[in-house]
């Protein structure tokens, strides 16, 4: 049975131009995929943004739709271009130029999970790769495009919050370089994907909740922010990375005891971000 590409958690009524999306929290691992992999069912989850869908699940309560991928990142990476095919993994694909993501095994169909651990033995057919793109990648991105278009039509702008988590070791490395470990990293491709005023307000919401925030270091955003961030068209895309150590045991891939309190803390941030895209008359009504 084929995994559904995504699920949209829709609000009773859209009250904001903000759209939340989680492309890497999918955990519907088909049995055939696990059987084919060199990795066990636990290790293959190491690239997954585990529980991010739960952390942002309250978005519809504040009038914002929430798009969640069901297919796991190890099966297909929705934060890559459909054309980022890996010649080291897929038969019949020729290398064209140098793409560091593809070269490291992290193309649209990943060859490795975290820490460079190989997913497969040998190559897959081009037909299988194309099937994954057609049945998972294209439906998700059609849905995301439609949600942003609907927000733009209703509010005159769209603000995409692309929700992710990051390994603690990634921010620990940043701390060794700068002396300060961020808990939240906002990626706007150094201003190319969103207006600075919007990013300022998002950062302020996290800071008010007590988080340490950095921008674009060590993550500035990948395909999604590059593709959908069009500030000159009043369409903004901001990637949000959360340190996994704040809410989960990374080795066990299990929520920490304080997971619920962390989610409550994040709920207030989601409310403030949603308010950024609320229409003026709705702001007045809320007062």
Q: What CATH number should be reported for the domain holding residue 110?
A: 3.40.630.40
What's the mean pLDDT in 149-170?
Answer: 96
pLDDT digits (tens, 9 = 90+) for 10-45: 999 999 999 999 999 999 999 999 999 999 999 999
Distances (CA, A) of 246 to 5, 41, 55, 114: 28, 24, 12, 19
pLDDT digits (tens, 9 = 90+) for 96-120: 778 899 999 999 999 999 889 999 9
What pLDDT was estimated at residue 173?
Answer: 66
Q: How much is the pTM?
A: 0.94
Asked, for residue 1, whether it belongs to a domain, the answer is no
| 285 — pLDDT class (breaks 50, 70, 90) | very low
User: How many structural domains compose the chain?
Assistant: 1
Q: What is the pLDDT of residue 284?
A: 37
Report, as an integer, the average pLDDT of 139-157: 98
pLDDT tens by residue, 206-238: 999 999 999 999 999 999 999 999 999 999 999
207 falls within a domain: yes
Q: Is residue 29 part of a domain?
A: yes
Give the pLDDT mean for 124-132.
96
In-domain check, residue 160: yes
Q: Is residue 109 part of a domain?
A: yes
Q: Is the alpha carbon torsion for 95, 98, 114, 55 positive or negative? A: negative
The range of the structural domain enclosing residue 156 comes to 6-286
Q: In this structure, how many other beta carbons lie within 10 angstroms of the beta carbon of residue 247?
A: 23
For strand 66-69 and strand 184-187, is the pairing parallel, antiparallel, or unpaired? unpaired
pLDDT at 96 (0 to 100): 78
Whether the CB-CB separation of 236 and 193 falls below 8 Å is answered with yes
Confidence of residue 180 (pLDDT cuts 50, 70, 90): confident
H or E segment and range at residue 99:
none
Note the Cα 161 to chain centre separation in Å.
8
Residue 153 lies in a domain: yes
Give the residue from 6, 271, 28, 259 showing the smallest Cα distance to 161: 271
**Residue 27 lies inside a defined structural domain of this protein:** yes
């Amino acid at each position: 049975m084929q995994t559904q590409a995504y699920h949209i958690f829709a609000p009773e009524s859209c009250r904001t131009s903000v759209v939340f999306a989680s492309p890497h929290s999918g955990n519907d691992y088909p049995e055939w995929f696990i059987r084919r992999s060199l990795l066990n069912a636990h290790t293959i989850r190491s690239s997954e943004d585990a529980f991010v869908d739960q952390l942002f699940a309250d978005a519809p309560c504040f009038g914002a739709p929430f798009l969640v991928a069901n297919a796991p990142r190890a099966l297909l990476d929705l934060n890559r271009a459909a054309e980022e095919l890996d010649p080291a993994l897929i038969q019949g694909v020729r290398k064209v130029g140098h793409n560091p993501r593809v070269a490291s095994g992290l193309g649209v169909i990943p060859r490795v999970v975290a820490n460079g651990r190989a997913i497969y033995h040998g190559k897959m057919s081009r037909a299988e790769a194309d099937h994954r793109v057609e049945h998972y990648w294209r439906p998700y991105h059609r849905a995301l495009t439609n949600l942003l278009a609907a927000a733009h039509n209703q509010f005159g702008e769209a603000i995409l919050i692309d929700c992710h988590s990051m390994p603690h070791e990634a921010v620990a490395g940043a701390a060794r370089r700068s002396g300060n470990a961020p808990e939240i990293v906002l990626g706007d491709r150094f201003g190319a994907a969103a207006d600075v005023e919007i990013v300022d307000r998002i950062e302020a919401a996290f800071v008010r909740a007590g988080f340490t925030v950095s921008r674009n270091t060590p993550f500035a955003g990948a395909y999604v922010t590059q593709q959908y961030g069009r500030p000159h068209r009043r369409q903004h895309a901001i990637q949000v990375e959360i340190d996994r150590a704040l809410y989960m045991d990374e080795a066990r891939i299990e929520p920490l005891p304080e997971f619920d309190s962390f989610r409550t803390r994040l709920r207030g941030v989601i409310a403030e971000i949603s308010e950024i895209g609320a229409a003026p008359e709705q702001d007045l009504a809320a007062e």
